[in-house]
Structure 1
Amino acid sequence: MSRRTRIFIGILLIYTAGIAFLLYRVVLDIDPRYRESAEESLVETTQLMASLVEQDVIAGAINTARLEPLFRSLYAREFSAQIYNLHKNRVELRAYVTDRSGRVLFDSLGRATGADYSQWTDVSRSLAGLYGARTSRDVENDARTSVMFVGAPIRWNNEIVGMVGVGKPVQSFGQFIEDARARTLAVGVGSALALLVLAIIVSVWLVRPFGLVADYFAWVRAQRTLSLRAMARRAVDAVRSGIGEMRDTLTGRNYVADYVQTFTHEVKSPLSAIRGAAELLQEPSMPHEERERFLANITRETQRIQEIVDRMMELTALETRRVLDRIEIVPLGSLLDDIATSAHAAALARGIRLRLDIQNDAATEGDAFLLRRAVSNLLDNAIDFSPADSEVLLTLAATHKHVRVAVRDHGQGIPDYAQDKVFQKFYSLARPHSQKKSTGLGLAFVKEIAALHRGRIDIANAKGGGAVATLTLPVSHLPRHSDRLGL
């Protein structure tokens, strides 16, 4: 994975983490806010109940006689209330009254009459003239049975003679909490995705106004026959191109800096060799043979710099292409046969046998020129790393989804320290027969070509020695003879 991609993914991860943290805090804050709202309503209801009970206090004695028929009638009421998404048809309010010692004189549910509630927080604090509230469970191990209670003192001649507690099950407003959480998450995630899409669209618009759309319609007009599958795939490639351009816009400065630094490092060695040879050539007494040797050295190093510059320009031009300009059905069998024929002379000069094994012919969609360059690079590498009197095998095999082009040599294989570096730009291993390195851009070139064709390139050590490079591409059916004739 390149540094550009890592930076781009890092930015997306930071953005995702920030949105997730914000949503987490908002969702976490919903439950306390609803509880505060419910508790505020219970405070007023409790004060109302305390005022009602105080009207029946006689000489400091609390009379709860009229509360029982009142709540019996309240619980028996029939009604239907649609509160947004919540349908309510029964009263869930609870109430109890205690004397000054905390003993229950009245319970609207008829469960706790006579019980000692003096240890409950709402009761003890209310009897002390303070604000008291609590949340308790009807069933100890079931959080869904939690009930919020708020207490208020009952006074007679400025003396607290008891308290009123009013409660409401948490589950009655818990539906609002769950609904608010779901809505908040939906809005948050939707807004985050919309903002991300907007950022991508704006970034692409800043880089290439209407360019992607124009390229897409130009491609559609160039097709003789239209296929919905091919059009969808081309549209996906166009979107991928826009995302790639946005990534390059975000990380382009680092990318250029890395390129310049690496290129400078690679050119420094041949430039030093040329300068050293030029300084020695200024000696008037240098023998003719030595002069010829240093001149040949200058020529060789100059050619190396030229090759690095040429390959780097090709690779840079390839990296700026997000989609293929020209797509055609490429028969790989005939393509590999031409490549093997062209490489036969170079292999023969090294005493290497080159064998082509087409297990089943297949085709792929893409640029025939670029595919030829990719396979030729792999074949040249295999020949360079093969010992004399060995064999290089070029294989074509296909499944119903993929076609694989494999190049196998019988050299020394890839050292462990180079396994994760072979696709890095300017990284190269010394050739066994010459102990010289290449430009280190060939495999990077192949990797870009594979990506443009929606494929991949893998290189690994083969069983029995040597290395095998596998170029995997999407398979495409060869046109029938009638299709080629337009019938």
Structure 2
Amino acid sequence: MPLGVRIFAVYFLFVGLSGWFVLSTVMDEIRPGVRQSTEETLVDTANLLAEILRDEVRSGNLAQSHLPALLEAYGRRRPQASIWGLTKNQVNHRIYVTDARGEVLLDSSGRAVGQDYSRWNDVYLTLRGEYGARSTREDPDNPDSSVMYVAAPILDGQEVIGVVSVAKPNRTLQPYIERSQRRLGWLGAGLIALGLAIGALLSWWLSAALGRVTRFAQAVSEGRRAESPGVRSGELGQLATAVEQMRTELEGKAYVERYVHTLTHELKSPLAAIRGAAELLGGELLDGEMPAEQRRRFVANIQQEGARLQQLSERLLHLAQVEQRQGLEERVEVPLAALVEELVSAQQARIAAGDLRVELALEPALRLCGERFLLRQALANLLDNALDFTPPGGLIRFGAERRGAFIELYLFNEGEAIPDYALARLTERFYSLPRPAGGRKSTGLGLNFVQEVVDLHGGELAIGNIEGGVQVRLSLPGI
């Protein structure tokens, strides 16, 4: 299982369980919380009524007072109140008053006057000087029919002369409880979903960052070119920087070691030729018997091998600079036709000496996107190869066309076909075929350099035989 999935699974489990626990706990607390608030209001109402009713209860004129009519009128009221979106269209309080013995003197419902309520907790406890309250079901089989009763003492000095009880059915509170639970449920579910979405995003980001670092490390371990993973902050940024530094150090050491071996091998042949020619010339100076033609030939060998050494060192330097890169230093617009014309113009002397024909079939509007110096060097190497392998009087032709976001550049030269065994090795470092003119090989670095430049630009290089000669196809990003 991917690391990001495991992180999200743990996060999902933690957030889900925590959210469910908190939400269920809060949901369970809504009902008692609402009832506690209602009870607190009933306490205030009962104590207020106790003060209002004190004189009538003390004088024994409660039944003959105007209070029964007031309670009856109270029960008929229709408030039509909108309370947080819920409409209240009737009053729900029941109020009854008992004397000091617990006998009901007044009942707003009109059904308990004269009954003995002294054993109900609200009356019983209040008459004993304690806080009196109870919750009783109107229907014993229906738990939702419970009614909350809160009582307050009617005092004459310190003496309890009666009790006033205020009752409210719990079912009248249920709409408010359900509304709060629904709103809290939606809000809680939304917060949990938001938390999970943030967790998913965090897991995706972490997994993606780790994936980039992992792919970068794998590319480094396989010796492939790879750009920095682009993680710049926190521990992952430090890890990416450490891997980048490790890659630079390891590649630098391995690169120097490889090039020392290859350069030593390639320098043996020209140095041996120079040394042999120098020894022969030195011996001739001692005995003076070497003919002038032979001396010229040895001097020419020394010059030729010296030029070869210079070319080898320059191309190795260019190749080393390209191979050490992980990306382009710039991406600019490069007119293709103008670039090719510049290269052909620079080689005009060789073209004229070989009586070669050069055809340019390039639209002026075609433009490459990349690093101009590297593109020029790559095309110059390809043109050098074409000039080397084209027989006198032969044809070299440049062509190009746009294919989507890329430009396909074709370079054809007349000449012998490339042997099948060599086709797959043409871009290998130091691999070269004998030139038709003198049978000598080149440094074997030109096509390897071209391949590196093409790879840096994200393009493709293909070399193959076609009718009449050889064609090189370059696919490079265009504008």
Could you state the TM-score of these two structures normalised by the residue count of structure 1? Answer: 0.48
Could you state the TM-score of these two structures normalised by the residue count of structure 2? Answer: 0.49
When Rg is computed on C-alpha atoms for both structures, the one with the higher figure is 2
